[in-house]
A and B are shown apart, each in its own frame.
Chain A
Amino acid sequence: MIIAEVVDEIVATRKHPSHEGRKLLLVQPLELEGAPRGAPFLALDAVDAGAGDRVLVVVEGYAAMTAVGRPQSPINAAVVGVIDRVDLARN
């Protein structure tokens, strides 16, 4: 899983049936310090996350399909948690 921030909800009416009924979220991966890390991508939502939320994202297809309950579907990523807090150990 990676940590990301939800940038926006993307609305798509015409889509593969396996994506119906789930929000499509544009997420920006983050460094642990909060800076952007790489390019944003799209994830289906499993926890009712919204813009501005810091979230946990699974970035492997089968984990994502499991999260949204749509096996054997063209899904790459899913939001599986809304982060309250990240505690880092001091070195």
Chain B
Amino acid sequence: MFLARVLGNVVATVKDPGLAGQKLLLIQPVDGAGRPVRTPLVALDAVGVGPGEMVYYCRGREASFPWLPATVPADLSIVGVVDPAANPNLQARP
């Protein structure tokens, strides 16, 4: 799994039926100090997060498992939220 900050939402009207009703989020992967690494990505939300939050995501086929038995064509999904109080390097941003 990997750390990222949620940058915002992505809206797509035309999409695979398996993505219907799914929230698409733009995320910026970060390192252990919260600094951006790599290019932003689009992930599905498996836990209910919002812009600015520091999260972690899963990638690959496993990323679709939160929605089993539904078939969701996801290769990136947000699976947790980092607690700001316990991780001073990884603060949420408004």
Touch A–B, Cβ below 8 Å = yes
- Contact surface of A with B, Cβ cutoff 8 Å: 7-8, 10-16, 19, 24, 26, 28, 39-44, 61, 65, 72-77
Determine if B11 is an interface residue (Cβ-Cβ < 8 Å).
no
Knowing A10-B90, A16-B47 are in contact, say whether A74-B65 is a contact too (CB < 8 A): yes
Is B62 a contact partner of A74 (Cβ separation < 8 A)?
yes
Is A76 a contact partner of B1 (Cβ separation < 8 A)?
yes
Is B2 a contact partner of A15 (Cβ separation < 8 A)?
no
Determine if B68 is an interface residue (Cβ-Cβ < 8 Å).
yes
What is the interface residue range for chain B against chain A? 20 to 34
Inter-chain CA distance A15–B49, complex, in Å, is 10
Knowing A7-B32, A19-B79 are in contact, say whether A12-B37 is a contact too (CB < 8 A): no
Inter-chain CA distance A14–B24, complex, in Å, is 19
How many A-B pairs have beta carbons closer than 8 Å: the answer is 79
Knowing A10-B56, A16-B66, A74-B62 are in contact, say whether A39-B81 is a contact too (CB < 8 A): no
Knowing A24-B56, A76-B1 are in contact, say whether A16-B32 is a contact too (CB < 8 A): no
B78 to chain A: closest CB distance in Å?
9
Contact residues of B between 14 and 59, Cβ < 8 Å to A: 31-32, 37, 46-48, 56, 58-59
Q: Which residue of B lies closest to A7 (CB)?
A: B32
Inter-chain CA distance A30–B31, complex, in Å, is 16
10 closest residue pairs by CB, A with B: A15-B80, A11-B86, A42-B1, A74-B58, A61-B62, A12-B80, A16-B79, A14-B81, A11-B83, A74-B79
